[in-house]
Amino acid sequence: MIEDAMLSPDSGNTQPAQANKPAQGGGKRRPAVFLDRDGTLIEQVHYLSDPEQVRVLPGIPEALRRLHEAGFACVVITNQSAVGRGMFPEERLHDIHLEMNRQLAEEGASVDGIYYCTHAPSVEDRTAIEHPDRKPAPGMLFRAAKDLNLDISASWMVGDLISDVLTGINAKCRGSILVGTGKGLTEKEAGLNFSFEKADDLLSALDLILGAGQGEETTRPSPPDQAEPHSELEGSAR
């Protein structure tokens, strides 16, 4: 597993990931479920900075096990602007992820990679793209697909925020699913003109993901005009 792959807040240069990264280009590309962290995998804590506050949500280990059994990679995609804002050091983020991984392992579950972006946005609009790697931009998904030999067109994005579902749309994933275990949408965001799936939690989202099988693709709507997707990253990740 790639424990963490960090994308720098400004230049976008990739920092070293773990040494057990798989070789690129080997074998058939597999589908993935790209997963937001806070409010999707673990309890929502505002600017989580203490590993002792990490709580894996109910049903998450079972959901991850079932996704792996079905042949999906499970990859965490998370914005972490608190690091970019100087609220806590990057090393603390690694400690948080170690604790999350420990709790998952106790239940026989794991993730295949964790990608995070530390860029601190200048606006509060979660539909705006300010950096090619910060959600709702698709940069982290592109990087994970390259690192882990993933098929984005057969993959799903799952999260609790508008930026999560837009990331899946911008990356041209097979589908995006909004779960109800986190912050959810504002009234303004709920009125935006695009569509996505909804589920109570990740375990419920499995019915949509696994029920879709490998057959006909779901509809992938265009994102709002202000969220112009990036098609490539010029050798960068977050």
Residues assigned a catalytic role = 36, 38
Query: What residues have CB less than 8 Å from 206, skipping those under 6 apart?
Result: 63, 66, 67
Sheet arrangement for strand 2-7: 2-7, 113-117, 73-79, 32-35, 156-159, 175-179, 197-199
Q: How far is CA 111 from CA 16, 76, 136, 185, 236, in A?
A: 18, 7, 21, 26, 22
For residue 197, which of 186, 211, 183 has the smallest C-alpha distance? 211
Do residues 108 and 17 make contact, with C-beta atoms less than 8 angstroms apart? no
In the Cβ-directed half-sphere of 222, how many Cα atoms lie within 13 Å?
Answer: 4
Beta-strand ranges (E) seen in 10-167 are 32-35, 73-79, 113-117, 156-159
Hey, what are 87's tokens?
A: 């609220």
